[in-house]
Amino acid sequence: MNGMQGATLLKYRGHRYLKVTSALVLLAVAAYLLPGRTGDEAYGGTVSGYLLGIAATLIVLILMLYGVARRRIGGTPVAQADTENKVGRGKRPFRMGRLEGATLQGWLSAHIYLGILLLVLATLHTGFHFGWNVHTLSYVLMLLVMVSGVYGLNAYLSYPTLITLNMGDDTLDDLFLKIAELDELAMACALELPDEVHALVQQACRETRVGGNLWQQLSGEQRDCPTRYAVQQLPALSATYGRNDQPKMIRELYAMLLRKEKLVQRARADVMLRARMTCWLFLHAPLGIALLAALTAHIVSIFFYW
Amino acid sequence: MISCLLIHVSRTSQGLPVRQAGVIAGETIQIGRGAACPVHLPDHRVALHHASVRRADDGSLHMDAAGEAMLKIDGIIARSVALQPGMRIEIGPYVLGVETAPAGHDIALSMEKVHAPDGHETAVGLKQPVTLEALGFSKRTLGAVLAVCILLVFLLLPMLPGASQALDKWQADLPVTLNGSWSPGSLTGGHALFEAKCSTCHKRPFQAVADEVCTGCHTQAGKHLSNETLHKRAFGSMRCTDCHADHKSRAKLRHDAEKCVACHGDIKRINPDSKLADVHDFATGHPAFHITLPEGVDADGVERVVRFRQQDKPVERSALKYSHKIHLDKAGISSPEGDTVMQCRDCHRLDASGKHFAAMTMEKTCQQSACHALNFTEPVEGIVPHGSERAVMSRLREFYGRWLADVPENRAQCEAAGAPANSVRATLDCVNDLARRNGAATLFRKNAECGECHEITPVASTNVPWKVTPLRTNHDWQPGAVFPHAKHGAMGCTACHDKMNSEKSADIAMPAIDKCRECHIGKDHARGKLISTCESCHRFHRDERK
């Protein structure tokens, strides 16, 4: 699945966009070197500088159109992986949608390769002049968008498989139901048990968290997880009790907690993988919009002070 | 033994209490979560064994908290209490009320659950966000905030100084100017003065920097071509900034040699009548040097020059007789100070520009160390100044007039020449005669004194019977180029100018282009050679100060 997904994105229709990109990159490098032949110092204001700049701007606009196309076509290029997870939350119905003959995979393939082309064009457009100004700001924003995009491509190619491997046939809600059930049982069991044990179980039930803030979601951890703590403490604690303290119930309780800990780990892994798969978009898209703003300022400034 | 009436209180849907009584008895009465406690309070907030009721030594009944548990009696936290009717004891969600014991019982306790269940339902995940969207992150909001900030700081603010002069002036003194973020690079040289004030050059928004802005300061920068039609054909609507782009390093501001080649690589395209050869690169595509010689003044009073190809071996017709060979003789040349070995710099001295040589004069150059004094000896010794023929003759007449007046016997010289009686006329004739005779004998000779350096022709005139051909020495052999002699000081003069064996002033000893190419290469780097572009030797703008 993973391999196929990657193959489709990067090798779409016999490397169509790879070929187009390679040709355009060669053209751009030629355009850059042409004035170099006569010793002209390169910068954005030469004829080839303007041409490279216009081309780069058009590519930025096309790249941003992908965001629109994504909404209009529907689904995601990795929606298939989503579907297999049967998660439900935030899932878009997968349609190998077509919008006037365009497929989302085709768009994404073009998006990736055009991004690479943009890197070349914009870098040549700068003529390797950088400074503390709006022009370099645009370039840096573009780089940040690209870095997040490269992360995103890697995430789209690797995380769906990991999510499927982790969750199997379960959804996150399934896991929560199972955990809740175990909690009920453990609490009922703990009612009859010594206070220390009871406190451990109660804490494990009440304070175990899946998800949480940004860091907790991305790390897939809970510091001092009470369930894990209970699992660690229970055997030692039970050893100190006598025959009257219902050792059988403690053993049952221990089994429940172990099962719960596994479920919690899987749930946290699911939240983590999804967070890591989607977090880049929270940078990629806003930075893209910021880039458009900086680009506007860049272009206006050039002609304002011509 | 304690006998306790335990009353379970529950509430109907209308909130009315329903009381169910039961009896429990024991030495002590345990209260807790555990099933073994007679007062069984099944809630997680209650300890397994939370408290117990016991009889004190004085017979009163006390309730003691067990372990680390606490009791809340009438709102006050306590570990132990003597039970009195009317007390309310809170344990977890339950309230135990102490009531007056009916006959046959030691105590009556009502037990009611007044708080909601403790919510031991699973808390896991339910109240936690499990997606990034659930954290309230919004791509659109973040994007919009970033975009608005960028547009504000990098678009709106930099535009403001263009709208108000007062604001423009005020912001120029700020540590960070409003439109500083628009500057693609720092300004070069003297332009750095305007760094904080873009409007110095960028007068109007969306209008290119006008040429007048440049020429407002650079007044001496003239046009490349004096011919208007040709200038228009060559440069069309080109602006100063097409060649001189600031903000792009000093090299970019100053000159761009390639722009020269754009026209001079195919000069006939611009001017089909041009006599100039095409130029591409100093090393490989530069024509042989030309020699420019003065041609004299034309009918309009304009000094004309004529260019010769160097290989045509032009000669200079300066009317000066001069031998470099004699002067630079390694054995020395005789002078009043004895034999002296002369150096080029004894006569040729750089002017303040370091590019050209100061004009040589008789007094400062030839008569230094009393060489070339203009002596006459007959019938007495004297010296005349270096000047026009008329000035020399006047000096001679003045000299002989005084000589006759001072010593009357000298008049014999006149008589000897066959002059008549003692009249003023006769004296003047005598003076003239003496001057002419001695001038001819000692000064205006063909190959000595004046004639040593000048071409002298006798003319039919009584007062000044000689004509010295005026000198027309050249001062600038290649006026289209600039050669900084001062920068080439490490080389000997004769390394380029072969004058050691030159016997005539007609010899032109300007080096050919190959001599320059021994050290200079074109625009492309070569090991051990100096990169030289058009601007190394040529100037684009005519100097309007000339």
ipTM: 0.83
Provide the token pair at B220.
Answer: 């001496």
Of A63, A77, A266, nearest in space to A156 by CA: A77
Compute the nearest-CA separation of A216 from chain B (Å). Answer: 9
Compute the nearest-CA separation of A159 from chain B (Å). Answer: 15
CB nearest to A305's CB, from B120, B182, B256: B182
Compute the nearest-CA separation of A133 from chain B (Å). Answer: 4
Q: Write out the DSSP string of B243-298.
A: H--TTSHHHHHH--HHHHHHHHTTHHHH-TT--PPP-S-TTTS-PPPEEEEEEEE-
Residue A303 and residue B206: Cβ atoms within 8 Å?
yes
- Between CA A152 and CA B191 the distance in angstroms is 46
Residue A198 and residue B48: Cβ atoms within 8 Å?
yes
- Give the SS3 label for residue B406: helix
Residue of A nearest to B186 (CA): A131
Q: Write out the DSSP string of B422-444.
A: S-HHHHHHHHHHHHHHHIIIIIB
Provide the token pair at A272.
Answer: 């983590």
- For residue B35, the chain A residues in CB contact (below 8 A) are 192
Provide the token pair at B493.
Answer: 């003069």
Of A117, A11, A13, nearest in space to A59 by CA: A117
Of B170, B186, B188, nearest in space to B178 by CA: B170
Bond from prior residue into B379 cis (ω within 30 degrees of 0): yes
Provide the token pair at B67.
Answer: 């372990």
Of A63, A45, A73, nearest in space to A306 by CA: A45
pLDDT at A28: 82
Q: What is the dihedral sign for C-alpha A227, A228, A231, A236? A: negative
Instruction: Name the helix (H) or strand (E) containing A155.
Output: helix A134-167
In our burial notation (b when 16+ CB lie closer than 10 A, e otherwise), range A201-230 reads: bbebbbebbbbbeeebbeebebeebbbbbb
- For residue A293, the chain B residues in CB contact (below 8 A) are 146-148, 150-151, 154-155
Q: By the 8 A CB rule, do B97 and A179 touch?
A: no
- A contact test, residue of B49, B150, B282 with most A CBs within 10 A: B150
Which amino acid type is present at position B384?
Answer: V
SS percent in chain B: helix, strand, coil, step 5: 30, 20, 50
CB nearest to A293's CB, from B42, B147, B159: B147
- A contact test, residue of B122, B188, B280 with most A CBs within 10 A: B122
pLDDT at B461: 83
Residue A293 and residue B148: Cβ atoms within 8 Å?
yes
Q: By the 8 A CB rule, do A298 and A136 touch?
A: no
Residue B154 and residue A184: Cβ atoms within 8 Å?
no
Centroid of chain to Cα B290: 36
Residue entry with tokens 């603010």: B157
Residues of chain B with pLDDT under 50: 120-122, 546
Q: Characterise B136 by phi-psi region: left (phi > 0), alpha (psi -120 to 50), beta (else).
A: left
Residue of B nearest to A260 (CA): B124
Provide the token pair at B99.
Answer: 């009531």
Of A220, A181, A51, A109, nearest in space to B121 by CA: A181
Q: By the 8 A CB rule, do B499 and B316 touch?
A: no
Q: By the 8 A CB rule, do A42 and A127 touch?
A: yes
Q: Helices (DSSP H) in B117-256: which residue ranges? A: 139-151, 157-163, 165-171, 211-215, 228-235, 240-243, 249-254
Residue entry with tokens 């054909």: B233
Per-residue pLDDT reduced to its tens digit, B73-82: 887 888 889 9
Compute the nearest-CA separation of A174 from chain B (Å). Answer: 12
Distances (CA, A) of B242 to B173, B237, B252, B461: 30, 10, 10, 65
Q: By the 8 A CB rule, do A206 and B123 touch?
A: yes
Q: What is the dihedral sign for C-alpha A178, A182, A183, A184? A: positive
Residue of A nearest to B147 (CA): A290
Distances (CA, A) of B471 to B139, B159, B322, B348, B453: 88, 66, 12, 17, 10
- Between CA B410 and CA B398 the distance in angstroms is 15
Residue of A nearest to B202 (CA): A305
CA angle B448, B453, B459 (to 5 degrees): 75
Residue of B nearest to A91 (CA): B131
In tens digits, what is the pLDDT along chain A, a chain of 306 residues? 444 445 567 776 777 778 888 888 888 888 777 755 444 567 777 888 888 999 999 999 999 988 888 777 765 555 443 443 443 444 444 444 444 556 778 888 889 999 999 999 999 999 888 989 999 999 999 999 999 999 999 998 999 999 999 998 888 888 888 888 888 888 888 888 888 899 999 899 888 989 889 999 999 988 899 999 999 999 888 888 766 667 788 888 999 899 999 999 999 999 999 999 999 999 999 999 999 999 999 999 999 987
Compute the nearest-CA separation of B170 from chain A (Å). Answer: 19
Per residue, the 3-state secondary structure of A246-305, as one string, reads CHHHHHHHHHHHHHHHHHHHHHHHHHHHHHHHHCCHHHHHHHHHHHHHHHHHHHHHHHHC
Residue of A nearest to B157 (CA): A297
Which amino acid type is present at position A1?
Answer: M
CB atoms under 10 Å from CB of B246, counted, come to: 21
Q: How do the domains of chain B map onto residue ranges?
A: 2-113, 154-207, 360-468
Of A256, A273, A59, A89, nearest in space to A165 by CA: A273
pLDDT at A245: 66
Residue B151 and residue A288: Cβ atoms within 8 Å?
no
Cβ-in-10-Å burial (0-12, 13-18, 19+) of A163 comes to buried
- Between CA A271 and CA B334 the distance in angstroms is 108
Of A82, A92, A94, A93, nearest in space to A270 by CA: A82
N residues, chain B: 546
Provide the token pair at B173.
Answer: 């003194």
Which amino acid type is present at position A180?
Answer: A
- A contact test, residue of B154, B203, B246 with most A CBs within 10 A: B154
Residue of A nearest to B37 (CA): A192
Residue B124 and residue A179: Cβ atoms within 8 Å?
yes
Residue of A nearest to B203 (CA): A305
Of A53, A3, A5, A7, nearest in space to A28 by CA: A53
Residue A129 and residue B159: Cβ atoms within 8 Å?
no
- For residue A259, the chain B residues in CB contact (below 8 A) are none
Tally of CA atoms within 13 A in the half-sphere of B232 that contains its CB: 2
Distances (CA, A) of A110 to A1, A114, B194: 21, 6, 46
- Between CA B453 and CA A24 the distance in angstroms is 75
CB nearest to A41's CB, from B125, B249, B261: B249
Residue A191 and residue B33: Cβ atoms within 8 Å?
yes
CATH code, B2-113: 2.60.200.20
Residue B122 and residue A282: Cβ atoms within 8 Å?
no
Residue B257 and residue A208: Cβ atoms within 8 Å?
no
Provide the token pair at B391.
Answer: 């000035």
Residue A289 and residue B248: Cβ atoms within 8 Å?
no
CB nearest to A187's CB, from B120, B150, B184: B120
Residue B128 and residue A209: Cβ atoms within 8 Å?
yes
N residues, chain A: 306
pLDDT at B228: 83
CB nearest to A285's CB, from B123, B139, B198: B139
CB atoms under 10 Å from CB of B37, counted, come to: 22
